[in-house]
Amino acid sequence: MDFFGVVIDFSFWQWFIDLPNTEQAPVIFALGGWVFISYYILKAGVDLWAEYRNSTKYVHNWEWVLLAVDVPQMFVQTPKAVEQIFAHLTGSLAHLDVGDKFWKGKSQKRFSLEIISFEGYIQFLIRTEAEYRDLVEASVYAQYPEAEITEVEDYIVNIPDKFPNDDYDVTGIEFKLANDNAYPIRTYQEFEYSLSKEAVFSDPMAAILENFTRIGHGENFWLQIIVEPISSAWKEKGIELAKRLLKGEPASSGSGLGGIAGALTGFLNFFAVEMGNIIQWNFEPKDTKDKKEERKGEAVTPGMKKTVEAIEEKISKVGFKNKLRVLYAARKEVYNPGRCISGLVGAMNQFHIQDRNAIVPAASTQAHYDSNRKKSDLLKTSFVKVFKARKMKWKKIGGYIMNTEEMATLWHFPLPFVKTPLLHKSGHKRGEAPSGLPIEILESPLKPKLSDNITSEKPADDKPEGLQFS
């Protein structure tokens, strides 16, 4: 094409646009896509180095404490109280610079919120680094003054390290958010419904705990939610998402290498189209563009506006990085993961809201083919390792972000009307010493075992023996 004496050939761009998406990638790579790929390879190398320094210089010195938390049986507190506990835990947020992360190997310390069931007997636990034990206890007592908090031994050490095992088998599932972090799940405040003239609260914990009570002798079912305080930087992405939705723009532009390729392709397409408009003097009048923008705004539906409001509500509260996973371990003669795993996956559906978010399985210890037993055993071994260490990442699947309200929905002490007869609860408030007496703080040399702690109210002949792996 001759343009003011300059010959411009657009045949290449037309040829590129007409290519299938699978054939555009090599062209993009040759045109500079290798720069972006190199960046991600370099970033992965830096992350591996940081992880190496973290494991060798910092994390191995952490002293973990496992706390069993029991609340009075008739103590009425909504999940709002647990939400305040989580907000209190943000006091552990560390402000680390580049030197702290990549040379000293420092990382943000995390907590583990756990619900465990030994043969149907349920206990709520919080795992914390010793430095923040006082923080955890203070936050719990502030909301539950009559609670009992006891340090217990880590039950997880009895799980076999490698599979296959002669006596026991395990199944593990890792969960994730189905959508962007900014989209909220259904929270406890939306589990209220009207009955007559009064609002009734349907505790979502009932559907979760039901699966923990269904197991029997020789079976164990454990849930852990790894939580890590983060800065408020994640809220900026939520704000940008809300703006895009209100403008009628796509919610996401993609991520990873596929996102880069898509972005480059989109840029090239945009470049070709705009250059074609210039060549053809195809300029759109300003008033037409304004009307177009108006029409775009009008395309936002009432449902979309509610979604934006929900996003704004989520980012208005404190956020944590999260990871939810469950582990079922049982003797081979009674091994039946479907007894509780399937029910828990189904219970997670109660938090799903159309056009917002949901909690869905991300990975499991089951291989794609049942015949691939070796691969399944390797998955079980690696999953148990991550479960023991309470790590945030498994199979390169990192954490996601939830705010305190969402976290309190998934992990809170059930209300009295939730029927969990084998859930350990404190019996009554311990009497306090009269004021003015001299106080001597004594540290008990004994550390109660988990099995002793969670079975204190069961008959002697009905106590679960816990896991005894050979």
Burial environment of residue 17 by CB neighbours within 10 A (0 to 12, 13 to 18, 19 or more)? middle
pLDDT of 198 = 61
Q: Where are the alpha helices (DSSP H) in 149-226?
A: 205-213
Is residue 139 within 8 A of residue 129, CB to CB? The reply is: no
Q: Mean pLDDT in the chain?
A: 78
Query: What integer pLDDT is reported at residue 90 of this predicted model?
Result: 95
pLDDT bin (cut points 50, 70, 90) of residue 301 is confident
Cβ–Cβ under 8 Å, residues 310 and 32:
no
The residue that leads in pLDDT, 300 or 465, is 300
CA pair distance 147, 137, nearest whole angstrom? 10
Nearest CA to 24 out of 267, 192, 227 is that of: 267
Q: Which of 54-58, 213-217, 378-382, 461-465 has the lowest mean pLDDT?
A: 461-465
The predicted pLDDT at position 26 comes to 77
Identify the bridge partners of residue 192 per DSSP, sorted by sequence position.
201
Report residue 276 as tokens.
């074609």
The larger pLDDT score, comparing residue 338 to residue 256, is at 338
Confirm if 204 and 351 have CB atoms less than 8 A apart: yes
Judged by DSSP in three states, 106 sits in coil
CA nearest to 423, candidates 456, 468, 462: 456
**Which amino acid makes up residue 142?**
A
Asked whether 55 and 47 are in contact (CB, 8 A), the reply is no
Higher-scoring residue by pLDDT: 459, 114 = 114
Regarding predicted confidence, which is higher, 464 or 182?
182
Confidence of residue 452 (pLDDT cuts 50, 70, 90): very low
Residue 167: per-residue pLDDT:
93
226 beta partners: 112, 323
Report pLDDT digits (tens) over 221-280: 999 999 999 999 999 999 999 999 988 887 764 444 444 444 544 554 554 444 445 444
